Structure formats: C-alpha cells, structure tokens
Amino acid sequence: MPGFKTLDDLAVRSKRVLVRADLNVPMKDGKVTDLTRIDRLAPTLTELAAKGARVVVLSHFGRPKGGPDAANSLKPLLGPLAKAVGRPVAFAGDCIGPQAESAVAALKDGEIALLENLRFHKGEEANDPSFADALARLGDLYVDDAFSAAHRAHASIDALAKRLPAAAGRLMQAELEALSKALDHPARPVVAIVGGAKVSTKLDLLGNLVGKVDVLAIGGGMANTFLVAQGIAIGRSLAERDMAETANDILAKARAKKCRIVLPIDAMTAPMLTEGMVPWTVPIEAVPPDQMILDLGPKSAAALARLLAECRTLVWNGPLGAFETKPFDAATVTVARAAAELTRAGKLTSVGGGGDTVAALAAAGVEDQFSYVSTAGGAFLEWLEGKTLPGVAALMQG
C-alpha cells in the first residue's frame, strides 16, 4: 500500500485540526448502546489535544433528509465522547457558518469541539466543492480517522482532504496497516474464510480473493450454492440455485489462480431454525430431503482449525452458520477460538471484519484476541473486493 501521512508527520500545537470521525453509533431512547466507535476514536483526539491542537470533530449520523433533524443530532454524543477523552467537549449547532466558526474560534490549545451532523447539509453527500470550502475555512490541518466511511466520496472525506494538509488518525492508520499486512504484503500461506447467506452479495469479494489468497474456505448459506453447483443435494437448505453457474465460474477461476477452495464435508441440520433444536450431523452428501443445513459439521470445523495451523495469515468475513441461534454457532466458535489461539501464540496474523463478523467473533469471546477486527462494514468489504476507497485515495495524494 502506498505511503500516507500520520499524526507523527503533523506539527499540531495551536493549530485547528479537523478530525473526520465516524460517530454513527447505535442509539436507543437517546442513549448510546454501543461505545465501540467512540472508544476507538478517543486515542486520536486525546493525542492531538495533549499535543496542544485545537481539535474540531466532524461526523455524520443517521440518514437525515439534507436538513436539521433532532432525531439525528450529534448532541446526545457529547457526554459519551467527553467521558471517552477524559475532558470537556464543546458543541456547535452547525458544522459550517457562524455557529461553527464561533465554536472553533473559542477553542484554546488542547480543547475539543464537536460540530453538528455533516449530513444536515446536502453538500456533504454530494461532495460539493463549496461545502468543502466552508469546512476547510474552519481548520488548518485535516485528519481522517473514519475508515468506516472511507468508501464514500463525500465532501468531508474526499474534497476536504484535498484542501488542507492531510493525515490519517490512529484508527485509520491501524486499519490501513492491518489490511495491508493481510492482503497486500501477507505472510503466506494466506487463508480467507468467507461466510454469510448469499453468493450474489459477495461476487466481487470472491472474485478478488481467489487471486490474492492461497486457500478460500466458504461457509454459511453461500456454501450451499457451491454444493448445488457440484450436484450435491442439500434438502430444504437456503441456496441461490440460479447462481450455480456463477459458483462454478468462481471455482474455475480459483483453479486457474491455484487457489484451493474448501467446502463443508459434513453439516449440522434441522427441520427448522429454532433455539435449542437438537441437530442431526450428517456427511455433506447425505443431507435428508426434509432438513436444512444450518452450520458446518464438527469434522468441517476441525478441518478448518487444522488448516489455520498450516497458514500464516487469515482474513475472515462472515459467519460459518446461523450463529445467532444455538447450537448453530458451534463451527464459528470452534474456528474462531482456534484462530485466536494461533494468534496469541504468534503463529497467525488474523484480520476479521464486515457484516455479522464482529458479532460472531464477539459471541465466540475472541473479538479482542485477533490481530485486528474491523468495525468498518461496507468499507472493509469494498477493500476485500479490491476497490479503491475515496477516503484512502485522498490521503495518498500527498
């Protein structure tokens, strides 16, 4: 991955530093229900403040209709943000114009202000140059710490980064370094585990990975589509039968790229997806007509765990079964814990992220035991697909 500037490259004392954050956190009844994104942003803000910067936090929240909307205000995040950074945080009722200018002008060295939702202005999502100009007038330097929004060519992500000296914050830096280590310059062999329900939503991802990794292990509902493509009966299991030809094309591309594809050899099945259902474990060629495949079987999970021990790098996207409903979390938990053990032993670089992956790893109790777990969602997926992310490209310009 090309170089990019970090906080180490900026002289920030007495400078107004615009920090693009992603504070689009889950809320219920006006309270934040998951502090992960706030906690991950805090190190960048506290470091800048400690160095004497005048820190100005920019973020979107929700999907307002291009105008002020109390339900999508960032004001309720003031308390959690101040607690995370260990100091007061000022607030401005707009992100441009007189209110924003006044709040920024009032900042002293080491102080932090949060500006109102960027998406209250249509110019944000339109990547409007005049809106970016208005944001740029508030700062001397720009720091992007929102990898999770890096796939959006929005004004505060793309245009603003081209108007001020720009650098990656600590979260963005960690994300880019972890992703580069996993696929751009990995220790080999590299294995990718891809799960989830549908092949159709991950065509670009699968197509890119077979050219990047040594082994591609497919689980979840999408594995069923590959089994159908190979003429294996899967009973009443979820599958995209109209994608069978596409699945065979991916298998052919993998063979051409010398990428080994790993599919289930046994399965946990049941007539319906219900908590506490006693499953049948059957060879993959013997799924009963009235049953559904709801998880990899124990032999498949054990084989994957052994495979990880032969590899040096793991990229994981998507659960291996219907992990939200016990006991169909068994394979995901088994493989996740094997990956965590190898990571702790220094034998495996493990990177996971996207969709339900974070929840699945957390349910297995290993979210903090991987080398890196990305909460970026769409940006993480687009990176796995090999796409150029506007927010990353903007940081590479200098």
211 in catalytic set: no
355 in catalytic set: yes
- In the set 93, 207, 378, 386, the catalytic residue is 378
| Cα distance between residue 209 and residue 260, in whole Å | 11
Closest to 95 in 3D by CA, of 76, 122, 63: 122
3-state helix, strand, coil split of the chain in percent (to 5) is 45, 15, 40
- In the set 16, 20, 37, 212, the catalytic residue is 37
- In the set 75, 181, 198, 337, the catalytic residue is 198
198 in catalytic set: yes
Q: Are 128 and 11 in contact (CB under 8 A)?
A: no
DSSP secondary structure letter of residue 27:
E
Q: Using CA of residue 330, residue 372, residue 54, residue 19, what is the dihedral sign?
A: negative
- In the set 139, 219, 297, 355, the catalytic residue is 355
Q: Are 292 and 269 in contact (CB under 8 A)?
A: yes
Secondary element (H or E) of residue 327: none
| Cα distance between residue 165 and residue 135, in whole Å | 14
63 in catalytic set: no
The dihedral formed by the CA atoms of 340, 343, 349 and 353, expressed in degrees to the nearest 10: 20
Q: Are 335 and 301 in contact (CB under 8 A)?
A: yes
114: phi then psi, degrees, rounded to nearest 5: -110, 125
The C-alpha angle 207, 212, 217, rounded to 5 degrees, equals 70
Helix and strand numbers (H, E) in the chain are 14, 17
Q: How far is CA 124 from CA 66, 104, 206, 332, in A?
A: 9, 19, 32, 39
| Cα distance between residue 344 and residue 215, in whole Å | 22
**Phi/psi zone of residue 368: left (φ > 0), alpha (ψ -120 to 50 degrees), beta?**
alpha
* Residues recognised as catalytic: 37, 198, 355, 378
